[in-house]
Amino acid sequence: MCCYRVSQIFNFSNIFMMDQRINNQMTLSEKIQLKRPFIIAGPCSAETEEQYISTALQLADLGKIDVLRAGIWKPRTRPGSFEGVGSVGLPWLQQAKKLTGLPVAVEVATAKQVEDALAHDVDIVWVGARSTVNPFSVQEIADALKGVKIPVLIKNPINPDLELWTGAFERIQKAGIESIGLIHRGFSSYGNTEYRNAPMWHLAIEMRRRHPEILFLNDPSHICGNRHMLQDVIQAAVDLAYDGIIIESHIDPDNAWSDASQQITPAVLGEMLNNINWEKEINLTPSDERALNELRDQIDQMDDELMLLLSKRMKVSDKIGHYKKEKNMTILQMKRWNDILERLTRKGDKLNLSDDFIVRYFNAIHMESIRRQDSVINGGG
């Protein structure tokens, strides 16, 4: 009998390994490296000393939380919403640390906030989604962190742009921060999706592929924006071998001053964590394994054929580019493209391929064709 962990199948290192070395003497950075799942929880915002301390005590009682979170300075989309209590809340966090023994994490967006947080023994700071989009803000935070030894977590930018996320990572790294983590909190998209911020899992997986050695957390609260989808999103993240989660929890979620609809009580969080299937053991017999390998061989072969076909298709498209150049035609022929999509989605229906997939797949091919024709026509190709 052969035993795989999902994490091994995804080939992500260290995931869900309850390492022997994990103990209370470990430094926070070591824990970040080794403790799986790594769980950060706390209210969206620290509102009053009483609210923060009682939430922190209840969370600590669960025995499953590694770090307490708190929003002290809240970046709000519209003015007039609660913008955080500011530095007066920092001593509450110190008190929560003392009472629970847990480290605390806070979002920072300016150099002054970094200084205030550090002056009050904050253990981890994170860069919020609205800061990651702005290289000026990230650089200011990075400069304020020079010479400081605390872990820094970086949320994905609001918009689906991995270069901005990577840029923020590089700026923080250049400041000399050794312990860096990434937080996937979903991406804003115009119009209605069922999520507050669409997860766009493929982008997070690509970021993870680029930085396999870095702590990678999911933030189900800001992805969902509601309570009823949290459990499923946490499970999805666990199945994709994330290292852990950062989640919002409040003693009285309905009356929270920010993000009320997505917060849950510590007790509900405890139940959710109990319901998660953290470590899917997949037991494969040698014959299961052979069958799986045969299927994988088929996939590899088909992928090779697809690559050859794609290359052939692009060569034809180059020839069309030369033709368009000669006849002085525009690259994009809208009617032709609509006809292609219509024909292929109709065909897709018969072949059990969804319209959405067909449109996305052929859009990618079409964009590459246009890029190549552009270089034929304008780039002297």
Positions that interact with ligand PEP (CB under 6 A): 44, 71, 107, 128-130, 155, 185, 222
41 binds Mn ion (CB under 5 A): no
Min separation Cβ 191 and ligand PEP, Å: 19
**Tokens linked to 178:** 């050794």
> Which of 6, 44, 65, 168 contacts Mn ion by CB under 5 A?
44
Q: How far is the CB of 175 from ligand PEP (least distance, A)?
A: 20
Instruction: Give the burial class of 246: count Cβ atoms within 10 A of its Cβ; 0-12 exposed, 13-18 middle, 19 or more buried.
Output: buried
Binder of Mn ion out of 107, 219, 243, 259 (CB under 5 A): 259
- Between the alpha carbon of residue 165 and those of residues 37, 105, 323, 353, the distances in Å are 23, 20, 41, 33
> Would you say 19 or 83 has its CB closer to ligand PEP?
83
Cβ-closest residue to Mn ion? 44
Residue with Cβ nearer ligand PEP (107 or 140): 107
Closer CB to Mn ion, residue 44 or residue 175?
44
Q: Residue 131 Cβ, how far from ligand PEP at the closest point, in Å? A: 8
> Which of the listed partners (Mn ion, ligand PEP, none) does 185 bind, with a CB threshold of 5 to 8 Å by partner kind?
ligand PEP
**DSSP state, residue 262:** G
Q: Which does 5 bind (CB under 5 to 8 A by kind): ligand PEP, Mn ion, none?
A: none
Provide, rounded to whole angstroms, the least separation between the CB of residue 46 and ligand PEP: 11
Binding range to Mn ion, per CB under 5 A, among 29-37, 43-51, 306-314, 361-369: 43-51
User: 140: Cβ–Cβ under 8 A, 6 or more apart, which residues?
Assistant: 110, 111
Which letter, b or e, does each residue of 51-77 get, where b requires 16 or more Cβ atoms within 10 Å of its Cβ? bbbbbbebbbebeebbbbbbbbbbeee
Other CB atoms within a 10 A radius of the CB of residue 307 amount to 10
CA distance 227 to 232: 10
Nearer to ligand PEP, 153 or 358 (CB): 153
**Min separation Cβ 281 and ligand PEP, Å:** 33
Name the region of 16 (left: φ>0; alpha: ψ -120 to 50; beta: rest). left
Q: 183, 223 in Cβ contact below 8 A?
A: no
Say how far apart CA 59 and CA 250 lie, in whole Å.
9
> 6 or 223, CB closer to ligand PEP?
223
Cβ distance to ligand PEP smaller for residue 125 or 377: 125
Q: What are phi and psi of 120, to 5 degrees?
A: -110, 25
Nearer to ligand PEP, 236 or 341 (CB): 236
Cα–Cα separations (whole angstroms), residue 265 to 31, 40, 44, 360: 25, 14, 12, 40
**Rounded to the nearest whole angstrom, what is the least distance from the CB of residue 234 to ligand PEP in the complex?**
16
CA dist 364 and 341 (Å) reads 12
The residue number with the shortest CB distance to ligand PEP is 128
The minimum distance between CB 319 and ligand PEP, in angstroms, equals: 48
Kindly state the smallest distance separating residue 44's Cβ from ligand PEP, in Å: 5
**Shortest CA distance to 76 belongs to which of 128, 149, 35, 20?**
128
- Name which of ligand PEP, Mn ion, none residue 128 binds, using a CB cut-off of 5 to 8 Å depending on partner kind: ligand PEP
Residues contributing to the site for Mn ion (CB under 5 A) = 44, 259
